[in-house]
Amino acid sequence: MTNEPLLFALPKGRLMEKSQELFNSMGIKFSFDNRKLVADDQTGEFRFFLVKNSDLPTYVHHGIAGLGVCGSDVIYESGKDFYKLHTFSYGSTKMCLAGLKGAHNNGNDAALKVSSKFTRFTRDYYNSKNTPVEIIKLNGSVELGPVLGLSPYIVDLVETGNTLRANNLEVIKELSDIKVHLIANPAYYKINYKRINKFVEDIKKGEENWNREKQK
Amino acid sequence: MTNNKRTKIPQGSETVFFEEAYIHRKLTEALNNLFNSWGYLPVETPVFDLFDAYRPLIPAENTDKVYRLIDRDGDLLMLRSDITLFLARQMGLILTEKELPVRICYSDSILRHQDSDDISHNEFFQSGVELIGKPGFEGDIEILLLLSRTISLMDIPAEIHLGSRSLFNTVFKAFSENDKNEILKMTSLRNFNELIDFCTPVMGKEKAEKTAELFSYIGNAKDLKKFIDEINKDEINYLINIVETLEKAGCADNVHIDLSEAGSQSYHTGIVFQVYMQKVDSAIISGGRYDSLLSNFGIPAPSVGFSMLQRKIEPGIKNIERFALPKIEKTLEESDIVNSFKKAEKLRSEGKIVTL
């Protein structure tokens, strides 16, 4: 069995912070100092890569990182198959259809025109409902779509709804629950399954303890 | 815009140059020598064939990976995307049942589309063997022993994960073909929570959970025995017998029974296996038994075999210098070209590589 560290991709932003907090509570301590994007934990058991959220499936798919923390929205958009070894208690959100308050048809149009970052999800969701959909791909600030008249609807992640409210938008329909998963490249898992299974058991117990401590 | 046709390379194409190409050829030669020494004879398949001959055997999700073209008569053709499929049709055209068993080997390119963000290539080099007309245990063991020798020849850190499509078919026989395909996807993606939810209405929760535990199993033959029950006993005992026989032959060091391996192709029927290697992003060798594939092409012949994606393996081979170009030992600089030629010929007869 190899003694090389398990290679782990983390997405930049809040998910990385939460994951780091959880791993720290389990004794897996690491930090990305001085804008570095690679960090080993103190035991040498893990090597972490800090990557852009939407690029994370690419790194894991090619086995550059064997494991990763990734939302089901990003996994779906990648179109790649991964093992989902654990679902984390944090980072949950919802994929929603939204539009300008009082200026839409509740999504009951014969054909929808939607701005979204999540084009694959939107296409597949409405295809499965037999609803024709025209999708305009945007890479950010999707809320501007209805505000500036690009499209009457958006499909986007909604966590608190504050951004929607600030732009006079409202949720019309919740389309899917989005969860955060520990994912693995299947071939990487097969080679390292004993170590990874042990880690998954540790993380399940560690997350329970971490959540219990937070509630105290 | 400048005309960049001279420098533009189509997505997914690959050229292998010089020393790397030499190593590739030498390894191919070594593999074929091994296969020949086991009585496997080479077959060359056409690079394209009629798509309709294979259409029912290609899963819907893989159809869009097949390159298709139309010939001058308007027939839809496909480029060779899987040598096993093309071989099956060719064997159906020429073989009779009397000639069985037949042992064949191949080394050739296949073409499949990969996504544009995929760093692998659309053109792959596939080497492999097929044992046609040898059913059951003897055929399975022969192929697994040859697989073990093939891995030893290449000297790669490989792990063999062995499963069984027949176990899968036995356990899920109450389900429709469509449902079985759904379950197969869940099993191969180790999505066992979803599998439990899917199977509970048919099996009940307790049995669905036990089934999920069974198909999540990766380990040795001994620990698998605790899962034996009335329904699965024949299939599990068969797998255990296979591994124990490999152990006796000294060929089971890197073999793991992995029941989430239930076959990547729709034509698999019995044992199935995939081989994985450190630092390679997907399986490097796939294989298994396919007892009904050839009957689609006119000859009912139980078969078993494996194929490897050779170009994925080559960077990980230990002692690669075994296959490397020998040093060019001498460059002659005689003023008389005839003298140079004669000296060079003498040195070449001693096995040296000489340039004029």
What pLDDT digit, counting tens, does each position of B167-179 carry?
999 999 999 999 9
Q: Is B333 helix (H, G, I), strand (E, B) or coil?
A: coil
Point out the residue among B258, B278, B281 whose CB comes nearest to the CB of A185. Answer: B281
Report whether pLDDT(A9) > 70. yes
Comparing alpha-carbon positions, the chain A residue that sits nearest to B189 is A83
**Rounded to the nearest 5°, which phi and psi values hold at B271?**
-65, 150
- Write down the CATH number for the domain with range A6-91+179-215: 3.40.190.10
Report whether pLDDT(A183) > 50. yes
The architecture (CATH level 2) of B13-155+278-325 comes to: 2-Layer Sandwich (3.30)
What pLDDT was estimated at residue B260?
A: 97
What is this model's ipTM?
0.91
d(CA B334, CA B354): 13
Half-sphere exposure (CA, 13 Å, Cβ side) for B81?
Answer: 22
| Domain B158-270: top CATH class | alpha beta
Domain A93-177 fold is D-Maltodextrin-Binding Protein; domain 2 (3.40.190)
Tens of pLDDT, residues B56-105:
888 877 888 899 999 999 999 999 988 989 999 999 999 999 999 999 99
Is pLDDT larger for residue B317 or for residue B6? B317
What pLDDT was estimated at residue A2?
A: 53
pTM of the model: 0.92
Chain A nearest C-alpha distance from B200 (Å)? 21
Decide if A16 contacts A56 (C-beta within 8 A). Answer: no
Is pLDDT larger for residue A106 or for residue A174? A174
Comparing alpha-carbon positions, the chain A residue that sits nearest to B285 is A187
Segment among B253-262, B278-287, B334-343 with least mean pLDDT: B334-343
Report whether pLDDT(B328) > 90. no
Do domains A6-91+179-215 and A93-177 share one topology? The answer is yes
In sequence order, what DSSP letters do the residues of B8-38 get, joined into one string?
---TT-----HHHHHHHHHHHHHHHHHHHHT
Comparing alpha-carbon positions, the chain B residue that sits nearest to A186 is B282
Sequence spans of domains, chain B: 13-155+278-325, 158-270, 330-356
Chain A nearest C-alpha distance from B282 (Å)? 5
B212-228 average pLDDT score = 97
CB pairs under 8 A between A and B: 40
Report whether pLDDT(B119) > 60. no
Point out the residue among A62, A81, A84 whose CB comes nearest to the CB of B119. Answer: A62
Report whether pLDDT(A110) > 90. no
Choose from A124, A189, A191, A197 for mutation: most chain B CBs within 10 A.
A191
Tens of pLDDT, residues B16-32:
899 999 999 999 999 99
Comparing alpha-carbon positions, the chain B residue that sits nearest to A2 is B278
Chain B nearest C-alpha distance from A187 (Å)? 5
The rounded Cα B131 to chain-centroid distance in angstroms is: 13
Chain A nearest C-alpha distance from B283 (Å)? 6
Report whether pLDDT(A1) > 50. no
Report whether pLDDT(B330) > 80. no
What pLDDT was estimated at residue B337?
A: 85
Sequence spans of domains, chain A: 6-91+179-215, 93-177
What percentage of chain B reaches a pLDDT higher than 90?
74
